[in-house]
Structure 1
Amino acid sequence: MCRILWLSLVLAMAGFAVAAGSYEMNSLLAIKSGVEDPEGRLRGWSSANSTVCSWAGVLCNASGAVTGLDLSGFHLGGTIAPEIQQLSASLLSLNVSNNNFSGPLPSAFTNLTRLRFLDISHNAFEGSLPAGFFRLKSLLNFTAYSNSFTGSLPLEFLHLSSLQHFDLSGSYFSGPIPAEYGGLSSVEYLDLSGNLLNGSIPPQLGSLRAARFIKIGWNHIMGSIPPELGNLSATLESLDLAGARLTGAIPAELGRLSILSTLFLYKNNLSGAIPFELGNLSSLVFLDLSQNMLTGEIPSSLGNLRELSLLSLMYNNLGGVIPLAIADLPNLSTLLIWNNSFSGHLPQHLGRMSPLVWFDASANQLSGPIPPALCAAGKLFKLMLFSNRLTGSIPIGLADCASLWRLRLEDNQLNGTIPHGFGALNNLTYLDVSHNKLSGPLPGDLLHAPMLQNLDVSFNPLHCRFPNSIWKMKSLQKLNASFCNITGGFWHVEQCPPLLTLDLSGNLLTGNLSSGLARCQRLTLLNLRFNKLSGQIPVELAGLPVLSTLELSYNKLNGSIPVEFGNSTALEVFDVSYNDLSGTVPSKGLFKVINPDMLAGNDGLCGGILGTCNTLQNELLSPNNGSRKRSLGLMAWVVAGIFAMTLLILMAGFRCFYKQYKWYICSKLRQDRDQDGWKLTAFQRLSFTVEDIVRCLTTNNIIGMGAAGTVYRADMPGGEVIAVKKLWRSQKEVDVKDQHILGEVDVLGSVRHRNIVRLLGCCSSSDTTLLLYEYMPNGSLGDLLHGNKEANLLADWMTRYKIAMGVAQGLCYLHHDCFPVVVHRDVKSNNILLDSNMEARVADFGVAKLIEETESMSVIAGSYGYIAPEYAYTMQVDEKSDIYSFGVVLLELLTGKRPVEAEYGDAVSIAEWVREKVEGGEEAVAEVLGGEAAAPSWVREEMALVLRVALLCTSKAPIDRPSMRDVVSMLSEAKPRRKQPHGCPSTTAAAAATTRIL
């Protein structure tokens, strides 16, 4: 009888399992039908395979019931079907992070009553969390990191009496933190960081008796730190309130947190002194109080923190001397105190007791010698002491520090010689000792350093001969030895390191300029100005493929300018002013738009952009007697007068004739043009014909269309791909205007810069004008920001920075290095194209001016949203107008928003909207850029600096806007803080968060 009952029970359970498996399969298939799966990650979810436990992302227990779904990183989209609630009987974990799900959280989630783990991070969910969702009494781990949730934090979380891990970071929650959150008695991990929370931190959070980790940083709180947090002394291990705009003093009560290991209060507006009581935090490992407004001295009690590994006090208003006890900390590896007002001597035993890895005390008022034992533990990786008043010599111990990677001692008063030993350091890549009082030759071993890439010894009275062995260095990329009183020369350059920049300006170099420099194929900058070099400019230098800047001014060079420099496709600056050059200036390539100041001081130069060479003028300038000069001068005036009168008579006669027979002339010109067909003007050697181009002007090849015309992709027979812009033109246009257009296009074709789209040529017929450009495979910045690829670009700040810098450099070239100056007139994201390496190229510069006079061109110069405010009353566009438009492009890059959107309300444009948000220019990246709320601190800091530049560029008054040269300089100061290379010693995650511009 028992056997029969047992068998019946087994059969019933089997039947139940089959039935359960059936509805689980149906639920999963319903979920699959509601999602977008572009990569086919769920293709194995099929009724043909009844074993659901083998499906991708499905987790089961020993009985075969579905207990978990892990769909993280599947790149799914759409929504989650309500059938997921049918899994509530067994589902314990659900992970849909790193996908593209959108819309509000599905209401079906409220029925997943057994759920213990829920991760919906990195999606596009929006709206408020539904109240019913908080019936999940057994929820142990809830994360909603980096989504698009909006609304206030729900009080319903208080229903989760068993909640232990509470993470709502990186979303868009707004409003104050509810004081009732202090009643979450079981929560151990509380993370509300990276939202839009405001108000103040409620003191009730001091009642979270079980809390071990609290993170509320990167919000808009702007209140003070509640001293009640000091009540969490029994449990709290980490307190992170960084980037929350907190004000007031640091509460002394925090000194009661006896087991606290991490205290992050950086990037706030905290003031007052560092509490002496912080010295009681005996378990503290990481202390970061940087980027505040703290005053006073470093309390000596911090010398009691025997476990301290990171101490960051940079960017404050601290002063006084550095306590000797700091040097006795046995575990201190990172000490960052730069940009304060510390004075006195550095503790001379610093590094003897501490395993220093990174020490930065730059930009203070420190004096005295450099501590000799900074690398006593053999771990020193970066040493930054620049911009102080340090004296004495460079310690020999630094030259024996095998771990040293970066050493910056510039802008001090160091003397003596550079010690031997640096050349044997296998990790040393950066050495800057410029702007000191160092003397003597460069040590011979330094010129054999295996990994040294950047060497700067400029502005030191070295008084030595140029070391020709420098050409044998294996890794050197940048060498600056300017203004060092270096003598001799370099006549035989038989090999060259991978140099990118070489600056030997302001020395006493003599002799000829070696043609062997042409072996430096990676050279982008060569600066030899203010020397005593003689001889001719080697024609071989024109063959350097990436040389963009050549500075040879203030030397004794003679001969002519080699015409081959006009063929260079990379050269942007060619300064040979104040030499003894003679002959004709080339008239092609760079020399069509070169600034005449770069040719000044060479009395023998003429032609090209300097004007026609005149024999009579040369005679007048020769040292002959005065009577001959006067007679020749009188003769010149007579000839000029006769010529002017003749020209005036001819012009008047032609005008009368033209008015009388205008219709005949125009028709005749049109007939001649029609007979000739297409006219091709090429600005470089082309391997295709007009017929090849016209054949590609089909509807299928259209890749863009705008106010200027239609853009086609053209695949040439030889495999080359170009872009062809067909300008809109009216049949009523007179052909006489074509000569003006082609003349302007010829100027544009000579503009050459790495950040400007190359104009390859121009084709014209009786009714059509085609502009031929190099093809940009990644399209326009506008499409990437506001089109289907938006997420790819917005997720990569370093690429966005590179694009911003590239556009700035291109506009700077147009404004400052072209002659005459080229004003773009229509700077916008759609006119910024990106090559295969995401390098920015400015397009359509000057084209607006070319087509402005045609009937299809609007009288408005520029595009709506980018137009400078003064245009409304001046109707003039100049360089300042371009700078305003560039500022709008920066704001697009920073926010991902369009220049004009309905959400701006009365602000109308993005510039006014951002200005209102940041309240008169204060940096507020988190407020403007919700999508970057959870970004690393170094990204947020750089974005804040770029935001400042954008606000300056979009100033209402043109006079308040910087020049493009200043813009490039400011953007360089905001250069991204690159993380340390792989294989290099790392300090801590906290130290990485405070990485500075190096």
Structure 2
Amino acid sequence: MTSLFSQICFKFLLLVFLLSHGNSQPQQDNGEQAVLLKLKQHLQNPPSLSHWTSSSNATLHCSWPEITCTDNLVTALLLSERDIKVTIPPFICDLNNLTHLELQFNYIPGEFPTALYNCPKLQYLDLSENYFVGPIPDDIDRLSQLQYLSLGANNFSGDIPVAIGRLLGLRTLLLHQNQFNGSYPAEIGDLSELEYLAMATNMKFLPSRLPQSFTQLKKLQVLWMSDSNLIGEIPDMIGDMAALELLDLSSNRLTGKIPDGLLMLKNLSVLYLYKNKFSGEIPQVIEASNLIALDLSMNDLTGKIPDDIGKLQKLANLSLFFNQLSGEIPQSLGQMPTLKDVRLFSNNLNGVLPPDFGRYSRLEGFQVASNRLTGRLPEHLCSGGKLEGVVAFDNNLTGEVPESLGNCSSLKVVMIQNNGFSGNIPNGLWTSVNLLTMMISDNLFSGELPGKVSQKLTRLHLSNNRFSGAIPAGVSSWQNLVVFNASNNLLNGTIPRELTALSSLNTLLLDQNQLQGSLPSDIVSWKSLVTLNLSRNQLSGQIPGSMGFLEHLLYLDLSVNQFSGQIPWQIARLRLNFLNLSSNYLTGKIPSQFENAAFSDSFLNNSGLCTSTPAVVDVNPRSSSPNFSRNFRTYRALVLSIVMVITVLSLFSSFLLIRFYWKRNQESNITWKLTPFQRLNFTESEILLGLTDHNVIGSGGSGEVYRVSVTHSQYVAVKRIWNDSKLDRKLEKEFLAEVNILGAIQHRNIVKLLCCISGENSKLLVYEYLENHSLDRWLHKRKSPSAILDWQKRLKIAVGAAQGLCYMHHYCSPPIVHRDVKSSNILLDSEFNAKIADFGLARMLIRQEELATVSVVAGSFGYIAPEYAQKKRVNEKIDVYSFGVILLELTTGKKANHGDEHSSLAQWAQRYFQEGKPVVDALDEDIKEPCYLDEICVVFRLGIICTSIMPSARPSMKEVLEILLCRGHPTSYLDKKSGSEFDAAPLLDI
């Protein structure tokens, strides 16, 4: 009986256990689903998570793409690029089995989320590309299970805590691109499992030596510490880091020689040590027999390239550019079987090129420009069939181009200008199927131009050679050509009509040839043309009126030809920066638009021209006048006066000319210093060569802005700041302000500074070039009715600019005040994403919310906040005021200076609203679409509030951004401002 009772009890207990165990899984699953739905609500229900919905299916959430489950339990949460703008909630750790959390590429604010300490199983944490601020906590080692930690591209500051060294399971530690202003701990060397370590782009680090303890990282494969304020010598023990494959110590202040131990890293495939201050020669003994890539570029290395470099039998990439190396290139270098890429440009190398280059290897890149090399190009460069580029300009090379390059179908770039090459270009080279750029100017090449060229060719530079014959009719097939420069050759015949078929042409230079005949009448097909120079030929006939329809033309030179007839009135439609029609046979009246000092030298030596402003042209007096005898004395006195004036002007001009050439000669001897902030795909010389008049796209108080081509399809914007007389100190401050700010911050809505180049009398800031130029141009200077920004684009621009300012005001430490926010400083990329530019007036605030006083008011009329203009008081609210003006521009289409001489757009809008006039009537007619009308009215009213006279009545940029993102429902901020200067709550009552 007892035994039977025991069995019954056992079975009962077993049944209870099985039932309870069977029910526990769905209950836990339902709990996790509830946590996820609560998280969605906390994240303000982003559209990207609209599929997160409650379900009776307890495991449905495991099928959501952002969720990974193991045994129906949530183990990974993938929320990158979900437009998250709120802090991480503590209840996220109610997902008890969470091991993997990705939150990168969002807008998450605040300090490091210590609430994650309650996620006991967390192994993978990625918080990169957000807006986190403050220090990394000293007790971060409480996340004891971490194997992957990425905090890069935030605004963390202070020291990297010692506690990092106690996360002994870490394999990846990424702390790059922050605002750390302390030091990095030697305890990182205790992370024995570490494979990837990144602390690059932390330029505010205290000057520190590379810790000896890092050599204990025996498993480390990647060490990335560029821009980390490293000083001192590289420890010789770095050779003990046997697993290293990538070592980047670029852009620091390291000194001393390259240690022998560095060349013992047998697994090294990438080595970046550029932009340091190494001195001395490259060691003659190189023992890294397994080295794949060696990059010692952009240093101050001297001496010869070691003869034993050929012993690196696995070397694929050799980069020694921008040093002071001398002597000949070792013959053994040309015999290396694995060599793919050779970069030796910008040194003092001499002698002939090793003839075996390419014979035993499959070369892909060959760059030896800007040296003192002589002799011929090697015959076998393309023997491997992989050669993509030959860059050998600025040397003393001679002879003909190797015939083998004519059979090199892989070639994309040929840049051999400024040498002594002669003979004909191989026929196959012209038509090489992949050729994009061919620059062979300043040589002694001869022969005729081909009827066909590569279909991909975009840049063809032939100037200063001896090419002869006519421009072939087959030129119509050069369809993708953007730049055609054939200046100073022996070309003859007429300009063929077929040339006008090249609709992509941006630059056409045919000056200083022997061309004859009239211009084709249908040149209007050159719809992309910016620069046209046909001067110093024998062209005749009338200037076609269709030239006035080349709406992008900025530079036009037809001087020293035989053009006759009147200047077509259509040319006055052009917005030319340069015009020269001198030394022709033109007659009639000069268009009134050109009767000003800017074009005073544009019409010289055209005796048949007349003008209401005599100083504009050189008009010869006519002796046939009936009053000439009676007024002879008067005319003689006038002529003598003119002669005296001309003599004085000639002497003065001669002085200026001498001074110009002296100054230019001085410039040519200037030593330039390049400081990169990004990875660059261009050289300093490419930038300097692009600083020509016809590349100018703008100018300001501090200098010109140029558009410079650096590849076949990429441009950069170069801002040149001159150091001249009394402006030195002021411009120096502007330069330092812009470099310090843009070099330190990275944001998708702030224009990217690529590098700066400093010379003795000028400084260059090189930015990314944005194809759609400025918002000001689209709103107020558009050249055709079709160039209209619809409301969706305008709102996108407003949000993007607000995000950039919000980052500057709220997530930079210390915060940044721009001081010159205006529509011309809002630049637009090809997708109309807005980026804030021109930080020359920006100022760092010492402490958050602290007012600063400046000695000089800087900014633009219509955008300047009242308190700034009157009391020179600076805080973030002056940027808010300026941004409010931009909102008014976007909604009304009016300029910032709209109104009378004493008022602006902001003042006009304030009066308009206070008078109770319908908001709809104030809006731009181009965007009055019924479906967006409510939204546009809200943004107009937001512009009214942002331009309130009292700074306290204006929202912060964070609040402005929130309102714009609400798209028509911004009640929260406006309601609490109802007690301000005028009642703001009714602004939403449309």
Q: In the alignment, what sits opposite 2:767?
A: none
Query: Structure 2 matches for 1:451-490, cutoff 5 A?
Result: 451-490=456-495
Asked if residue 238 in structure 1 is aligned to residue 246 in structure 2, the reply is: yes
- State the alpha-carbon separation in 2 of the partners of residues 426 and 221 from structure 1: 46
Asked if residue 90 in structure 1 is aligned to residue 97 in structure 2, the reply is: yes
1:502 aligned partner, one-letter code: L
Q: In the alignment, what sits opposite 1:962?
A: none
Unpaired stretches in structure 1, ≥5 consecutive residues: 638-752, 762-771, 795-803, 805-825, 843-887, 914-998
Query: Structure 2 matches for 1:391-430, cutoff 5 A?
Result: 391-430=398-437
- Measure how far apart 1:462 and its partner are: 2.7
Query: Which one of 279, 283, 294 corresponds to residue 287 of structure 1?
Result: 294
Q: In the alignment, what sits opposite 1:360?
A: 367
* Alpha-carbon spacing, 1:911–1:225, altered in 2? closer, same or farther (3 Å): farther
Q: In the alignment, what sits opposite 2:117?
A: 110
**CA displacement 1:831-857 (0-9 Å, x = unmatched):** 546679589999xxxxxxxxxxxxxxx
Q: In the alignment, what sits opposite 1:560?
A: 566
* Alpha-carbon spacing, 1:185–1:788, altered in 2? closer, same or farther (3 Å): closer
* Alpha-carbon spacing, 1:421–1:179, altered in 2? closer, same or farther (3 Å): same
SS in 2 for 1:7: helix
Q: In the alignment, what sits opposite 1:526?
A: 532
Q: Please report the TM-score for the alignment, with normalisation by the length of structure 1.
A: 0.64
Unpaired stretches in structure 2, ≥5 consecutive residues: 1-6, 640-773, 810-817, 859-990
**CA displacement 1:358-388 (0-9 Å, x = unmatched):** 1111111111111111111111111110011
- Measure how far apart 1:433 and its partner are: 0.9
C-alpha contact 1:405 1:429 (8 A) present in aligned 2: yes
Q: In the alignment, what sits opposite 1:884?
A: none
- State the alpha-carbon separation in 2 of the partners of residues 220 and 236 from structure 1: 21
C-alpha contact 1:476 1:497 (8 A) present in aligned 2: yes
- State the alpha-carbon separation in 2 of the partners of residues 294 and 120 from structure 1: 40
C-alpha contact 2:33 2:61 (8 A) present in aligned 1: no
* Alpha-carbon spacing, 1:624–1:221, altered in 2? closer, same or farther (3 Å): farther
* Alpha-carbon spacing, 1:490–1:47, altered in 2? closer, same or farther (3 Å): closer
* Alpha-carbon spacing, 1:71–1:838, altered in 2? closer, same or farther (3 Å): closer
1:586 aligned partner, one-letter code: P
- Measure how far apart 1:546 and its partner are: 3.1
- Measure how far apart 1:521 and its partner are: 3.5
2:566 aligned partner, one-letter code: S
- State the alpha-carbon separation in 1 of the partners of residues 197 and 636 from structure 2: 92
C-alpha contact 1:128 1:149 (8 A) present in aligned 2: yes
- State the alpha-carbon separation in 1 of the partners of residues 533 and 327 from structure 2: 42
- Measure how far apart 1:613 and its partner are: 11
Query: Structure 2 matches for 1:791-802, cutoff 5 A?
Result: none
SS in 2 for 1:326: helix
- Measure how far apart 1:134 and its partner are: 1.1
C-alpha contact 2:550 2:574 (8 A) present in aligned 1: no
C-alpha contact 1:224 1:247 (8 A) present in aligned 2: yes
Query: Structure 2 matches for 1:279-678, cutoff 5 A?
Result: 279-442=286-449, 444-445=450-451, 447-490=452-495, 492-493=497-498, 496-498=501-503, 499-566=505-572, 568-588=573-593, 594-610=598-614, 620=622, 627=629, 630=632, 633=635
- Measure how far apart 1:231 and its partner are: 1.8
SS in 2 for 1:602: coil
Q: In the alignment, what sits opposite 2:238?
A: 229
1:600 aligned partner, one-letter code: L
* Alpha-carbon spacing, 1:833–1:592, altered in 2? closer, same or farther (3 Å): farther
- State the alpha-carbon separation in 1 of the partners of residues 610 and 833 from structure 2: 36
**CA displacement 1:51-97 (0-9 Å, x = unmatched):** 3633635545453222221112222220111112323x422111112
C-alpha contact 2:78 2:103 (8 A) present in aligned 1: yes
- Measure how far apart 1:338 and its partner are: 0.8
* Alpha-carbon spacing, 1:604–1:321, altered in 2? closer, same or farther (3 Å): same
Q: In the alignment, what sits opposite 2:166?
A: 159
1:598 aligned partner, one-letter code: S
Q: In the alignment, what sits opposite 1:205?
A: 214
Bigger Cα displacement from structure 2, 321-330 vs 42-51: 42-51
**CA displacement 1:427-454 (0-9 Å, x = unmatched):** 1121111101112323x35x34322222
Q: How many residues are aligned here?
A: 701
Q: In the alignment, what sits opposite 1:916?
A: none
- State the alpha-carbon separation in 1 of the partners of residues 55 and 548 from structure 2: 69
- Measure how far apart 1:329 and its partner are: 1.4
**CA displacement 1:173-198 (0-9 Å, x = unmatched):** 33222122222222222222232433
Asked if residue 13 in structure 1 is aligned to residue 17 in structure 2, the reply is: no
SS in 2 for 1:421: helix
SS in 1 for 2:475: helix
- State the alpha-carbon separation in 2 of the partners of residues 353 and 284 from structure 1: 18
SS in 1 for 2:279: strand
C-alpha contact 1:556 1:579 (8 A) present in aligned 2: yes
**CA displacement 1:689-730 (0-9 Å, x = unmatched):** xxxxxxxxxxxxxxxxxxxxxxxxxxxxxxxxxxxxxxxxxx
- State the alpha-carbon separation in 2 of the partners of residues 543 and 384 from structure 1: 38
C-alpha contact 1:42 1:56 (8 A) present in aligned 2: no
- Measure how far apart 1:353 and its partner are: 1.0
Bigger Cα displacement from structure 2, 494-503 vs 528-537: 494-503
* Alpha-carbon spacing, 1:791–1:298, altered in 2? closer, same or farther (3 Å): farther
* Alpha-carbon spacing, 1:298–1:508, altered in 2? closer, same or farther (3 Å): same
* Alpha-carbon spacing, 1:62–1:371, altered in 2? closer, same or farther (3 Å): closer
- Measure how far apart 1:271 and its partner are: 2.0
**CA displacement 1:886-941 (0-9 Å, x = unmatched):** xx96336xxxx94464459999779999xxxxxxxxxxxxxxxxxxxxxxxxxxxx
With a CA cutoff of 8 Å and minimum separation of 6, indicate the structure with the bigger relative contact order.
1
Asked if residue 31 in structure 1 is aligned to residue 39 in structure 2, the reply is: yes
- Measure how far apart 1:125 and its partner are: 1.5
Q: In the alignment, what sits opposite 2:838?
A: 890
- State the alpha-carbon separation in 2 of the partners of residues 212 and 835 from structure 1: 39
- State the alpha-carbon separation in 2 of the partners of residues 580 and 59 from structure 1: 78
Asked if residue 219 in structure 1 is aligned to residue 228 in structure 2, the reply is: yes
* Alpha-carbon spacing, 1:563–1:47, altered in 2? closer, same or farther (3 Å): same
2:124 aligned partner, one-letter code: F
**CA displacement 1:297-351 (0-9 Å, x = unmatched):** 1112221122211111111111111111111111211111111111111101101
**CA displacement 1:91-126 (0-9 Å, x = unmatched):** 211111222211112222112221121111221122
- Measure how far apart 1:154 and its partner are: 1.0
* Alpha-carbon spacing, 1:36–1:426, altered in 2? closer, same or farther (3 Å): same
Q: Please report the TM-score for the alignment, with normalisation by the length of structure 2.
A: 0.64
- State the alpha-carbon separation in 1 of the partners of residues 820 and 615 from structure 2: 32
2:467 aligned partner, one-letter code: L
C-alpha contact 1:832 1:841 (8 A) present in aligned 2: no
**CA displacement 1:256-304 (0-9 Å, x = unmatched):** 2233333221232222222234x31122212211111111111122211
- State the alpha-carbon separation in 2 of the partners of residues 618 and 188 from structure 1: 82
Query: Structure 2 matches for 1:714-863, cutoff 5 A?
Result: 787-788=802-803, 790=805, 829-832=822-825
Q: In the alignment, what sits opposite 1:765?
A: none
SS in 2 for 1:343: strand
SS in 2 for 1:109: helix
